[in-house]
Amino acid sequence: MQSFRTELENPVVERDIIELERKIREFRQGTIPEEKFRSLRLARGVYGQRQPGVQMVRIKLPYGRMTLAQWKRIADVSDEFATSNLHLTTRQDVQIHFVSLDRTPELWTLLEQDHITIREACGNTVRNVTASDMAGIDPDEPFDVTPYAHGIFEYFLRKPVCQEMGRKFKIALSSSEKDSALVFMHDFGLIPRIREVNGEMKRGFKVVVGGGLGAQPFLAITTHEFLEEELVVPYLESILRVFDRHGERNSRHKARLKFLIQKIGMDAFNELVTQEQMALTHQRYEFGTNKFTVPSLGQYSSNGNGHFNVPPSSIDQFKFELWKNTNVVPQKQQGYVAVYVRVPNGNISSDASRRLIEKLRYVIADDVRVTINQGLQFRFVKPEHLEYVYSVLDAEGFAAAGFGSVADVTSCPGTDTCNLGISNSTDAALVLSSVIEEEYPELLYNKEITIKISGCMNSCGQHGMASIGFHGSSLKAKGQVLPALQVLIGGGVIGSGSGRIADKVIKVPSKKGPDVLRSLLNDYKANAVENETFLDYTQRQGEKYFYELLKPLASLETLMAEDYIDWGQQEKFATAIGVGECAGVMIDLVATLLLEANEKVAVAEEFIDSSKWSDAIYSAYSAQVLGAKALLLQQGVQCNTQHGILNDFDKHFTANGLYNDSSSFKLAVMRMNDNEPSEKFATEYLQQAREFAEYANAYRRVTAAS
């Protein structure tokens, strides 16, 4: 492949892209091990697909926001590099598929021309910062969390502490106590509050930590009922430092923050967080909120409203009223409403995207939000333009009523493109949605009951907190394998950072999924007490009740030939699970680790030159840990956490006289937490890292020669 030149204003971004292009060439030439390269490309948003030789590229949209120009840019990029489809995700990202690895630097360059990044969209990093789609327009919000979500995104992008953690880290901000961002299932969640502090009304947040779904879901734990806004970033940075140092690194299935807290307990975790305080970049951090105070209003036509009026006879008034009652909500700004768009399976073509942009640009704000249930939100719409907006959506096939209702089924791509998918989720979701629309149309108004489906147990479709959840699986019957769905019941949002995890109930053949849905809804209709919510109903009835209710549908005695064929497929089902890349693969090659240690020293030198003392110190710390890990692995000592590496190095090297620069390597390295970041200490600590890197490289050469 040929080198290329970028033409970007931001030299940091330009260097990122050039580095990716160089690393791809080195990988093609065989000079970078595959595991090391995988880690690097994942942190640049490039993810391997189920299909060999092509990539999924994840585009990072903080709090799901796109300008119209950014939306068009993504559509154009999908045309040129992918399949002309945009997949909206439950993390408020956009994914494009079937991309050539060699073209990803060029793709990234084009995205960055409209200030769109793929940096840290995958891998062991701080992932996309999500937020309530109503942020800024929510009548119930104490204040707009948008600048805080954006500030967190900007602050931690490329931050040394969160580039190569043991696992990914997810952050969410809700706009109100209703918790529409589902903070209870995140590593770090914030709910805005206003409190009186020393006689002054202050902004702050309720803080929850350590939540997550996946195969072993945990509810987040409240650490602060009110944390002042200036303390949020320092507290979050402390948590990330603890997670980086003490988090599991061998077993990726135990490497999320929730497992660390479960292992050591909340009191010990809080103590570790406190120990990081002195070394932080900032003791207090001010968010720049001023640039977000003016709403991004649409460029309304100067020739009056006539151009946007539609003849009443041109639209189905019944369907329009249903759509308006289920997909339109009032904003806190008087005279404006927000319009929600159901996007089945989160898939919208690039052509449809461009047509919507062109036709709606004068009646919606230059601020489109991707929602966490894979839809779109248009804001600052005038009520008199709703018929026009509806007609435009209807022409494109996106005017379905019931946004966020029972019919609005969430699904991940599953076996369409993901390595981990077991059975189909996308076609199954469409079938479940059609059951609601055709047989239970009254539920188009019900936004309490949620249906979510994932292709595997990892809950990318958020099945673990659904009212009715499904995840892909398989069953064996009569010597054959058939696609199956694990049924989960009773998850949901309680509010104020609390939620309920769904109970695993029973596994059924995939083709029985619609009958499961019918049985549950019919039973709820027949047996719920007056005004009882579905969440309360499922808690009252309990897991055993639903097992007995659905047990007949799990029978394998009366299977038909069609039961052995998955939804949307023609051939008989066969499991074909690959290696997932959600958090990368650990790198155990000694030479590679030493190379990384040297690179971290060089990065620290650059931070010194730009007077970023804290970042320089952390990079120097990482260099020493990587060097120590390399030497331990050379000695046959298996390494786990960074904290363990420091202990093991003293045990196997310092205590045996193989390392004599200090009486304790661990104490020398951990001086970083005993000193405030300053030019003097950063320079001194960097020199310590340089000397250790030289020692590690020399030790490697001597022992390799012998």
Domains 138-292 and 410-564 share a fold: yes
Q: What is the pLDDT of residues 155-168, one digit of tens each?
A: 999 999 999 999 99
pLDDT at 587: 36
For 7-16, 586-595, 664-673, which range has the lowest pLDDT when averaged over its residues? 586-595
pLDDT at 304: 45
pLDDT at 395: 95
Residue 203, beta-bridge partner list: 194
- Residue 276 has phi, psi (to 5 degrees) of -85, -10
What's the average model confidence in pLDDT over 260-268?
A: 96
Ramachandran region of residue 253, left (φ > 0), alpha (ψ -120 to 50) or beta? alpha
What's the average model confidence in pLDDT over 52-61?
A: 94
pLDDT at 584: 37
CA 428 to chain centre: 23
**683-695: buried (b, 16+ CB within 10 Å) or exposed (e) per residue?**
eebbebbbebbeb
Among 693, 649, 645, 666, residue whose Cα is nearest residue 250: 645
Q: Which amino acid is at 462?
A: Q
- pLDDT of residue 577 exceeding 60, the answer is no
CA 237 to chain centre: 18
Q: What is the pLDDT of residues 529-571, one digit of tens each?
A: 999 999 999 999 999 999 999 999 999 998 999 999 999 998 8
pLDDT at 229: 97
pLDDT at 429: 95
From first CA to last CA, the distance across the chain in angstroms is 39
Residue for token digits 């065989």?
A: 30
What's the average model confidence in pLDDT over 423-431?
A: 93
- The fold adopted by the segment(s) 11-112 is Sulfite Reductase Hemoprotein; domain 2 (3.90.480)
Q: What's domain 590-705's superfamily in CATH?
A: Nucleotidyltransferases  domain 2 (1.20.120.330)
- The fold adopted by the segment(s) 138-292 is Sulfite Reductase Hemoprotein; domain 1 (3.30.413)
Confidence of residue 515 (pLDDT cuts 50, 70, 90): very high
**Cα–Cα distance, 422 to 485 (Å, whole number):** 10
Q: What is the pLDDT of residues 172-195, one digit of tens each?
A: 999 999 999 999 999 999 999 999
Confidence of residue 209 (pLDDT cuts 50, 70, 90): very high
Q: Contact, 39 vs 588, CB < 8 A?
A: no
Q: Contact, 468 vs 160, CB < 8 A?
A: no
Q: What is the pLDDT of residues 616-668, one digit of tens each?
A: 999 999 999 999 999 999 998 988 899 999 999 999 999 999 999 999 999 99
Among 469, 472, 467, residue whose Cα is nearest residue 457: 472
Quote helix, strand, coil % in the chain, to nearest 5: 45, 15, 40
pLDDT above 90 as % of the chain: 80
The 3-state secondary structure of 8-72 reads CCCHHHHHHHHHHHHHHHHHHCCCCCHHHHHHHHHCCCEEECCCCCCEEEEEECHHHEECHHHHH
- pLDDT of residue 212 exceeding 90, the answer is yes
Domain boundaries defined on the chain: 11-112, 138-292, 306-396, 410-564, 590-705
- Residue 623 has phi, psi (to 5 degrees) of -60, -45
Average pLDDT score over the chain: 92
Q: Contact, 220 vs 185, CB < 8 A?
A: yes
**Cα–Cα distance, 115 to 619 (Å, whole number):** 27
Q: What is the pLDDT of residues 189-208, one digit of tens each?
A: 999 999 998 899 999 999 99
Structure tokens at 388: 């026009």
SS3 697: helix
pLDDT at 367: 94
Q: What is the pLDDT of residues 302-323, one digit of tens each?
A: 444 556 777 767 899 999 999 9
Q: What is the pLDDT of residues 78-115, one digit of tens each?
A: 999 999 999 999 999 999 999 999 999 999 999 999 99
Structure tokens at 512: 């029985």
Confidence of residue 39 (pLDDT cuts 50, 70, 90): confident
Residue 56, beta-bridge partner list: 47
- pLDDT of residue 706 exceeding 70, the answer is no
Confidence of residue 65 (pLDDT cuts 50, 70, 90): very high
The 3-state secondary structure of 443-508 reads HHHCCCCCEEEECCCCCCCCHHHCCEEEEEEEEEECCEEEEEEEEEECCEEEECCEEECCEEEEEE
Reported residue count of the chain is 706
Confidence of residue 37 (pLDDT cuts 50, 70, 90): confident
Residue for token digits 């006289």?
A: 657
Residue for token digits 């793929």?
A: 118
What's the average model confidence in pLDDT over 581-594?
A: 58
pLDDT above 70 as % of the chain: 94
Among 569, 155, 636, 49, residue whose Cα is nearest residue 41: 49
Confidence of residue 685 (pLDDT cuts 50, 70, 90): very high
SS3 244: helix
Strand runs labelled E in 314-430 = 328-330, 337-341, 347-349, 368-370, 376-381, 410-411
Confidence of residue 6 (pLDDT cuts 50, 70, 90): low
pLDDT at 638: 87
> What CATH number should be reported for the domain whose range is 410-564?
3.30.413.10
> What CATH number should be reported for the domain whose range is 306-396?
3.90.480.20
- Residue 461 has phi, psi (to 5 degrees) of -90, 5
